[in-house]
Amino acid sequence: MDVPRLSEGQLLELRRWNTPSLYNGWEQVTRHDSGRDAFNLEEVHDFMPHLGPMVGYALTVVIEPSQSAHKHRRPQAWREYYRYLASQPGPKIVVMQDLDKPRVIGSFWGEVTSSTHRALGCVGTIVDGAIRDVEDMTKAGFKALARRLCVGHAYSTPVRWGEPVEVFGRLVQPGQLIHADQHGFLAIPAEDEAALLEAVRFMDSLECSTVIAAARSEAGLDSQALLEQVEAAQEAFRQAVRGKFSG
């Protein structure tokens, strides 16, 4: 995608927030429908929540572990895929569509593949199929959001890559900025990327100084006074958001 990429420092700062916080900033700067666009529409499980959020650019892949024919049709697929993977700039998140869903039978991901991808600049994966070797993937520092766990790899091989994929009800483009954690993932439209960080900073700071501060007040107020304080903070919050983003 021919769009400006965020710097390493900007990406590190985005990783300091959870994915809902990214959403709160994104909805202020996007022209997309914030009630239905950019985030996963189906349930997804974060199998390494203790690794925290991950942020990177989508490297898209299609797999179909139930079909042994793929290995025969393209015997050099792994070699070609790894060369493509190595040629793409990082940090990368492998966004993988499993054509077998919902009847997932095999995992592309395990100790070897996660370690290899980590060495080639990938921080994790979002796969609408299965994963295995969770402990070993965690030791490799490779985060995974997936549909479920499974035992075997079946006939896993990369089938296609570098094209749009649909995972958990969301279409993801190659090179799209991704932020993901235990809540799900957000695939940022390219045109919203440049304004995202400032919006997230603003919304997070504003929440802390208005509505959250009012709701957590320890001033010993009675219920009525507390409600009035919260309402005043909510109005101040709305006014600040309008002042920042209405233009």
Q: CATH code at 163? A: 3.50.30.40
> Mean pLDDT in the chain?
92
Q: Based on the fold, state whether residues 145 and 241 are members of the same structural domain.
A: no
* pTM of the full structure: 0.89
- Tens-digit pLDDT profile for residues 64-106: 999 988 888 888 999 999 999 999 998 999 999 999 998 888 9
Q: Are residues 184 and 235 in the same domain?
A: no
- The answer to the question of residue 122 being in a domain is yes
Counted domains in the chain: 2
Range of the domain at 235: 210-245
Q: How far apart are CA 15 and CA 13, in angstroms?
A: 5
- Is residue 53 within 8 A of residue 18, CB to CB? The reply is yes
138 shares a domain with 80: yes
Q: Tell me if 21 is assigned to some domain.
A: yes
Q: Are 231 and 117 within one domain?
A: no
125, 228: one domain: no
> For residue 171, which phi and psi values (nearest 5 degrees)?
-80, 125
**Are residues 54 and 152 both part of a single domain?**
yes
Whether residue 146 sits in one domain with residue 44: yes
pLDDT confidence of residue 3: 56
